[in-house]
Each structure stands twice: as structure tokens, then as C-alpha cells.
């Protein structure tokens, strides 16, 4: 952050205006900016450089890693990493895009429940959310805060069929809205996708549908993460799931939510 402060003091906001769209927007919006994306960039261009530099310096010195144990309320810290490498044959590779928490204690925070990803390759390209601040990702995982991580290598095994989407649509107004969003996103993406975050939540409330491994998440200087398996490690990653059972449970809960009833394990 100190380097960024020095840069804007020397050159004004132009470097930030040039580099920020690549961090903020996907490739389509970068290629064909929308009114909203242009407005966001214009807002950044109008920022006073000295004020921006002072904020950068303040954030650069703000480190409360040593106080994480003081948190007594369940929280959802967020980080995301979409391509991860296994450091050894016994390693699985998680990182976090937090989707839900569930209180287990009145005095201790519950482990964050995360949706993340894995990759078997050693030369994976890391996404912006980790690369923007590799040191922060390293600090979060090195702090040993308990976290449950559901890998995208697992969630992508659950792909809702058109019949299942139609079943969601038939659940009522909520189902109709959700099914429309699913179809719209798939059209934009150009292929079917998986309900990654809902599956990560389901791992928290129906753990019997999942198989977990325990260990420590490590983040190297390039932003590549891996899981070193240790029985007493603070990080718990999904390494297997039951695709059919998970899909059926998601549909059941969506339909029960529509009629406003509580959902209990079947």
C-alpha cells in the first residue's frame, strides 16, 4: 500500500484509473464497458490523490492479525482463490470464498465455511483476489483460524439438470426467480455451472453428505495455495461428496424455503 501511495503522489490517479478495471471487472466488461463500469472508473479518476494516498498508508499499517482470537461473534472473512496447486501427493488444495457461518459457541467464533477451488497442476494462474494481497492471505491462513473449505473441484461435480431447474421454478415465486437467475447466468457463461456457494453452506449443515480432510492451508509468495494434511490442523477441506444426494438436498431446501417452513434433515 505504501508503493501505491507513493505512485499516486507522484503521478496522480491516472495509474489507478488504468489498472483498476482489470481488478474490478471481468473480461467482457473490460472489452465493452457499461454505463455503470464507466461511472465507477470516472469516480476513481475524480478522487483527490493525496486523500487516496493517506488511505493507502492507513490501510497499510492496519494489522489486527494478533487480535483475531478476541472475536466472539461468528464472522465471514472473505478471500477467493480459483486455481490452486497441490504441493505433494498427499495434499489437497483449498482457499476461501466465504459463503456462510454457523454459531457453535457463545464465546468463540465458528469456523468460516468457504467455497474454494483446487487444481492438480503446479503452475496455476492465481486470480486477482489473492494476488492483490498475497501477504494478507498468508497472514489469515497462518493465524490458524479454523476454516471449512469446499473445493470447486468438488462443487463442480454437482450440475443441476434442466429437470431440476424446472423443479425449482415450480416451487413458487422464489423458485421462479432463482431458476431465472440460474438460466440467465448459464446463458452468459455459455455452459452449465454448479451452485458452488450453496454447496459450501450445505457442507456446514449436512456434513454427513461430505468427506473432509484436515490440515493447514499454505500460501506461497506467488499466491498459490495448498493444504498440508495434519490431523490437528485448523483447516478442514471437503475432499469428496455425494453429488446426487447433495443436489436433492439443495432442491428440497429451496422448496421448503418457498413455503416458509423450517428444514430438517431427511
CA distance from start to end of the chain: 50
Q: Extract the runs of DSSP E, i.e. beta strands, from 59-192.
A: 98-100, 113-116, 147-151
Q: Which residues, in sequence order, are CB contacts of 73 under 8 Å at separation 6+? A: 109
User: Measured on CA atoms in the order 15, 19, 25, 27, is the torsion positive or negative?
Assistant: positive
Supply the pLDDT for residue 182. Answer: 92
**Per-block mean pLDDT, blocks of 10 residues, the chain (266 long):** 88 93 85 87 91 87 73 52 32 35 39 43 40 76 82 86 92 86 90 88 91 87 81 89 94 78 46
Cα–Cα distances in angstroms (integers) from residue 140 to residues 78, 145, 147, 218, in the given order: 10, 7, 10, 10
Residue 135, classed as helix, strand or coil, is helix
The residue among 152, 157, 158, 155 whose CA lies nearest residue 116 is: 152
Which residue do the cell numbers 469446499 mark? 150
**Phi, psi at residue 48, to the nearest 5°?**
-70, 120
Tell me the C-alpha distance between 48 and 61, whole Å.
21
How much is the pLDDT for 81? 37
Give the pLDDT confidence score for residue 75 in this predicted structure: 53
The reported pLDDT for the residue numbered 17 is: 93
pLDDT score of 247: 94
Distance in angstroms (rounded) separating the CA atoms of residues 219 and 11: 32
Please state the pTM of the whole predicted model: 0.53
With a CB cutoff of 8 Å and minimum separation 6, the contacts of 263 are 252, 253, 256, 257
Name the grid cell of 181. Answer: 437467475
What's residue 227's pLDDT?
A: 79
pLDDT value, residue 259: 60
Amino acid at each position: 500500500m505504501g508503493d501505491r501511495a507513493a505512485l499516486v503522489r507522484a503521478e496522480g490517479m491516472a495509474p489507478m484509473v488504468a489498472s483498476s478495471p482489470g481488478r474490478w471487472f471481468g473480461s467482457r466488461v473490460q472489452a465493452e464497458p457499461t454505463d455503470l463500469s464507466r461511472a465507477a472508473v470516472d469516480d476513481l479518476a475524480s478522487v483527490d490523490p493525496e486523500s487516496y494516498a493517506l488511505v493507502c498508508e492507513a490501510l497499510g499499517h492496519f494489522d489486527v492479525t494478533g487480535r483475531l482470537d478476541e472475536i466472539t461473534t461468528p464472522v465471514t472473512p472473505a478471500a477467493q482463490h480459483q486455481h490452486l496447486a497441490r504441493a505433494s501427493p498427499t495434499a489437497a488444495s483449498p482457499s476461501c470464498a466465504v459463503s456462510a457461518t454457523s454459531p457453535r459457541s457463545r464465546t468463540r467464533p465458528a469456523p468460516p465455511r468457504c467455497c474454494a477451488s483446487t487444481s492438480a497442476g503446479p503452475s496455476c494462474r492465481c486470480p486477482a483476489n489473492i494476488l492483490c494481497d498475497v501477504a494478507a492471505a498468508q497472514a489469515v491462513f497462518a493465524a490458524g483460524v479454523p476454516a471449512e473449505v469446499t473445493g470447486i473441484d468438488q462443487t463442480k461435480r454437482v450440475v443441476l439438470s434442466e429437470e431440476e431447474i424446472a423443479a425449482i421454478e415450480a416451487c413458487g415465486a422464489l423458485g421462479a426467480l432463482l431458476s431465472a437467475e440460474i438460466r440467465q447466468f448459464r446463458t452468459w457463461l455459455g455452459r452449465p455451472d454448479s451452485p458452488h456457494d450453496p454447496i459450501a453452506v450445505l457442507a456446514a449443515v449436512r456434513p454427513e453428505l461430505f468427506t473432509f480432510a484436515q490440515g493447514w492451508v499454505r500460501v506461497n509468495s506467488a499466491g498459490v495455495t495448498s493444504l498440508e494434511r495434519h490431523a490437528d490442523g485448523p483447516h478442514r477441506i471437503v475432499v469428496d461428496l455425494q453429488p446426487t444426494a447433495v443436489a436433492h438436498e439443495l432442491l428440497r431446501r429451496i422448496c421448503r424455503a418457498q413455503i416458509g417452513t423450517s428444514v430438517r434433515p431427511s
